[in-house]
């Protein structure tokens, strides 16, 4: 085992031991417990032992069953982000690290302090709860990894003018998939979904984008999307017959590529049940994420899907630094941790600007329309109380409250 992996293993072990002490201790001393975790994993600059002596920046991470991997990924990216800050001869700011147990309001675990200004919410946060908290305590809240449909409703929530998404929504990925499909001439399709799959919650959005891009959908039901429970043989047979009679050249699959419905569809197409004795027909379009599609096997028919999620122009340099540090390739979640560390450092470099109401605006230094400048130059501009924008790994860094930034996604033919 390499020295870096050995250190990480020991730190993760220490983290698991601390987590094992239970949520009761976390609820009693959330600040101290998570500050110790941050100190172990990312060399946090100060241990905060009392809510009376609290930094103006706080970071919340999820503290529920099965959250260990999520925390690990986010913190690995955060570590690389802190390395880039230190390379500019800047000391990362002190921050409080707090665990958020399941079904717990963030206001219950965030100690009140007069100088609180910026809070990092956990990935996949309850936007309503954090909007209320932001408004009640006059905080700016960074949303490092919020990608779902809830972003579309963000602007209408209480306190949304204080919520700052850091990564593009999944809609950008779906736009890329739709555009790639039409770019291949695959503009006429039938759409099938497994109602129990994650992809099922996104297929309506994809169909709307497919229509907007000039595509068409055929269905023999009252809906453009045919839902098929993989255990319902009658429903599957009906869809199989519809595919055969429709003669559409493309099938959009909103299902887990490793799930039962996808496997039944593969088996049927290998038997040429969809394509008039031609197993190469129809083409498949997946709307799944790029990570799971990386394991999809080659088939006699063409398959198209997401190559990588929407991300920023700083991805390449981040990915190189991440691989050097940890020995493998990062995901968008790790990129969000990387960008978060850099945002916190910039926010902590100088006093925040004032909002139109005359209160501190911890994210008010971001200029979404500015030309990106290198991080080290960004620190100089912050010290001069100037606004700025930096290259980011997870997005184009056109950060604004209540609106997700954009990025560049790539979709195309999958190779086995």
pLDDT tens for each residue of the chain, 416 residues long? 554 444 444 444 433 443 333 333 333 334 334 444 444 443 333 333 334 445 789 999 999 999 999 999 999 999 999 999 999 999 999 999 999 999 999 999 998 876 889 999 999 999 999 999 999 999 999 999 999 888 888 999 999 999 999 999 999 999 999 999 999 999 999 999 999 999 999 999 999 999 999 999 999 888 999 999 999 999 999 999 999 888 899 999 999 999 999 999 999 999 998 877 788 899 999 999 999 998 899 999 999 999 999 999 999 999 999 999 999 999 999 999 999 999 999 999 999 998 888 888 999 999 999 999 999 999 999 999 999 999 999 999 999 999 999 999 999 999 85
Q: How far apart are CA 190 and CA 253, in angstroms?
A: 9
Distance of alpha carbon 396 from alpha carbon 386, whole angstroms? 19
Q: Which residues contact 197 (CB under 8 A, 6 or more apart)?
A: 254, 255, 256, 259, 261
For residue 195 the two structure tokens come to 């109602």
With CA atoms as reference, report the closest residue to 60 among 135, 8, 111, 132.
111
In this prediction, residue 152 carries a pLDDT of 84
pLDDT at position 151 is: 87
Q: Specify the pLDDT at position 335.
A: 98
Which of these, 226, 161, 228, lies nearest to 189 by C-alpha position? 226
- The class that CATH gives domain 3-169+314-383 is alpha beta
The predicted structure's pLDDT at residue 113: 75
CA 41 to chain centre: 21
Rounded Cα gap, residues 239 and 221, in angstroms: 10
Q: How high is the pLDDT of residue 306?
A: 97
Q: Which DSSP state fits 268?
A: H
* Beta-strand runs (E) in 194-269: 216-217, 225-227, 250-254
- From residue 397, give the alpha-carbon distance in Å to each of 117, 194, 309, 311, 381: 20, 35, 15, 10, 16
Which parts of 271-413 are beta strand (E)?
283-286, 303-311, 408-413
Closest alpha carbon to 396 in 311, 308, 309, 307: 311
Q: Where exactly does CATH 3.40.50.2300 map onto the chain?
A: 171-309
Instruction: State the CATH class of domain 171-309.
Output: alpha beta
Query: For 327-374, where are the alpha helices, taking DSSP H only?
Result: 332-349
3-state DSSP call for residue 156? helix
């Amino acid at each position: 085992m390499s020295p870096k992996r050995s250190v990480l293993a020991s730190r993760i072990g220490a983290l698991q031991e601390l987590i094992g002490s239970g949520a009761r201790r976390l609820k009693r001393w959330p600040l101290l417990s998570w500050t110790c975790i941050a100190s172990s994993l990312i060399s946090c600059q100060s241990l905060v032992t009392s809510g009376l002596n609290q930094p103006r920046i706080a970071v919340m991470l999820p503290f529920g069953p099965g959250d260990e991997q999520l925390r690990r990924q986010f913190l690995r990216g955060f570590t690389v982000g802190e390395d880039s800050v230190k390379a500019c001869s800047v000391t990362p700011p002190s921050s409080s690290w707090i665990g958020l147990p399941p079904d717990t309001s963030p206001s219950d675990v965030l100690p009140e302090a007069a100088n609180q200004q910026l809070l990092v919410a956990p990935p996949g946060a309850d936007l309503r709860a954090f909007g209320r908290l932001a408004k009640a305590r006059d905080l700016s809240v960074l949303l490092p990894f919020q990608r779902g449909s809830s972003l579309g409703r963000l602007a209408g929530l209480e306190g949304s003018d204080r919520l700052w998404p850091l990564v593009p929504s999944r809609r950008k990925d779906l736009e890329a998939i739709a555009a790639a499909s039409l770019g291949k001439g695959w503009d006429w399709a039938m759409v099938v979904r497994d109602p129990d799959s994650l992809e099922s919650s996104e297929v309506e959005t994809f169909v709307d984008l497919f229509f907007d891009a000039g595509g068409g959908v055929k269905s023999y039901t009252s809906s453009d999307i045919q839902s098929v429970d993989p255990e319902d043989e009658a429903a599957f047979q009906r869809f199989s017959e519809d595919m055969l009679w429709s003669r559409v050249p493309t099938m959009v699959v909103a299902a887990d590529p490793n799930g039962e419905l996808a496997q039944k569809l593969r088996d049927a197409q290998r038997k040429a049940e969809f394509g008039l004795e031609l197993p190469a027909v129809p083409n498949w379009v997946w709307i799944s994420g790029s990570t799971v599609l990386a394991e999809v096997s080659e088939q006699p028919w063409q398959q198209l899907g997401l190559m990588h999620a929407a991300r920023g122009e700083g991805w390449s340099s981040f990915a190189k630094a991440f691989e050097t540090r940890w020995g493998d390739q990062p995901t968008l979640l790790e990129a969000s941790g990387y960008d978060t560390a850099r945002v916190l450092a910039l926010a902590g470099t100088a006093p925040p600007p004032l909002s139109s109401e005359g209160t501190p605006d911890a994210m008010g230094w971001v200029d979404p329309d500015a030309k990106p400048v290198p991080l080290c130059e960004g620190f100089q501009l912050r010290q001069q109380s100037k606004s700025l924008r930096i290259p980011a790994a997870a997005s184009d860094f056109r950060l604004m409250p209540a609106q997700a930034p954009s990025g560049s996604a790539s979709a195309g033919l999958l190779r086995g």
